[in-house]
Homo-oligomer: A and B are copies of this chain.
Amino acid sequence: MLAFENDYSRAAHPAILEALERTSENLYSGYGSDEICASAKERIKAACGSPDADVWFLVGGTQANQVVIDAITPAWAGVVAVESGHPNVHEAGAIEYAGHKVLTLPHHNGLMDARELDDYCATFYADANHEHMVFPGCVYISLPTEYGTMYTKAELEALAAVAHKYDMPLFVDGARLGYGLTATGCDITLSDLAAIADVFYIGGTKVGAMFGEAVVFTRGNTPKHFLTLIKQHGALLAKGWLLGLQFDTLFTDDLYLRIARNANVAADCIRAALREKGYTLTFDAPTNQIFVTLDRPTIERLERDVRLGFMEKADDTHTVMRICTSWSTTDEQVDQLIALL
């Protein structure tokens, strides 16, 4: 059975398992106070070209969203996100559990529009009753989005400019950041992102790690007593060096971006084949998630041999399905899938 249903179904890149094996008899101090975490942080700061950045390691994406949004959003405010944003839909209310409203904008294939953000804020502050309402307090976007789509560097800068105009930090969820930065046509580098966003994270769980997200506060703007806030959210890993070890490995010899690119090369091949065979790509997403609108017989035929992801119903007879490649997808798997299409 071929598996293209998601990008988090294999344990970790071999280099990470080797690093784990290699260090397994060593003893490290707890809670991220070890030398491997220190090394990993330095490597990430270097890769970001941000000597003033602070790097923190968390275990998972929803956890990172909850901890970071709660830490950077004032008590009187909410987080602005597009309706399809992960915290608005697929985090079981983790943000509201932390006391903050998710203020939603329409999405455009998953993307937020800077002008719409500006209009939203302008309308808010112009409303005579706005003190009875939830203030827009920070901006959340994901790169790439839930639909695999990407911002251009100019779009990202425009969003940051609007966010800062209204005194909001821009937070970028990078659960699949590697797949975004290495997508065909992407004009954003890690350094660009660090220069533009106020805080973002580099997703490990979906890009080669067993688990782990590296949160980067880009300009010495870590919230006060952030370690305590992490602990308070139950998010502080006792053996913190296991997080450091994975990111230290991923940020050695550019491994993170190299293995991410592999997924995009595979996805580009599959997209080309789909187009050639007359399939309808649901939207033009350049990253490792391919969305394709299929009728039921086609889905049934394909699912005999390959696991696909379910996205949403398109109409009474069609469904949007997801084909997801990953750092571990092989040429052979791609060829097998294309043969089935």
Contact = CB atoms under 8 A, between A and B. Distances in A.
A210 interface: yes
Interface in A229-243: 229, 231-239, 242
A232 B93 contact: yes
B9 A232 contact: no
Contact of A135 (B11, B27, B62, B228): B228
A76 B225 contact: yes
Contacts of A231: 62, 91-92, 94, 131-132
A237 B213 CA distance: 12
Nearest to A209: B239
A76 B90 contact: no
A17 B14 contact: no
A184 interface: no
A24 interface: yes
A299 to B, nearest CB: 14
Nearest to A27: B9
Contacts of A95: 96
B9 A228 contact: no
A63 B10 CA distance: 25
A27 B10 CA distance: 5
A229 to B, nearest CB: 6
A17 to B, nearest CB: 6
Interface string A57-95: 001111111110011001110100000000001111111
A238 B129 CA distance: 13
A280 interface: no
Nearest to A103: B93
A134 B90 CA distance: 8
A232 B97 contact: yes
A129 B224 CA distance: 17
A234 B74 contact: no
A205 interface: yes
A11 B237 contact: no
A234 B60 contact: yes
A131 B61 CA distance: 17
B131 A225 contact: yes
Contacts of A6: 30
A251 interface: no
A76 B229 contact: yes
A29 interface: yes
B96 A101 contact: yes
Contacts of A135: 225, 228
A21 interface: yes
Contacts of A94: 231-234
23 contacts: A3-B27, A6-B30, A9-B27, A10-B26, A11-B20, A11-B242, A20-B20, A59-B237, A60-B238, A62-B234, A75-B232, A76-B225, A76-B228, A76-B232, A90-B129, A91-B231, A92-B131, A92-B232, A93-B99, A93-B134, A96-B134, A205-B239, A211-B239
4 smallest CB-CB distances across A and B, nearest first, come from: A63-B234, A92-B231, A92-B232, A76-B225
Given A11-B20, A76-B224, A211-B238, 14 more contacts: A3-B27, A9-B28, A9-B29, A17-B20, A76-B225, A76-B228, A78-B93, A91-B234, A92-B229, A92-B231, A92-B232, A93-B99, A131-B225, A234-B235
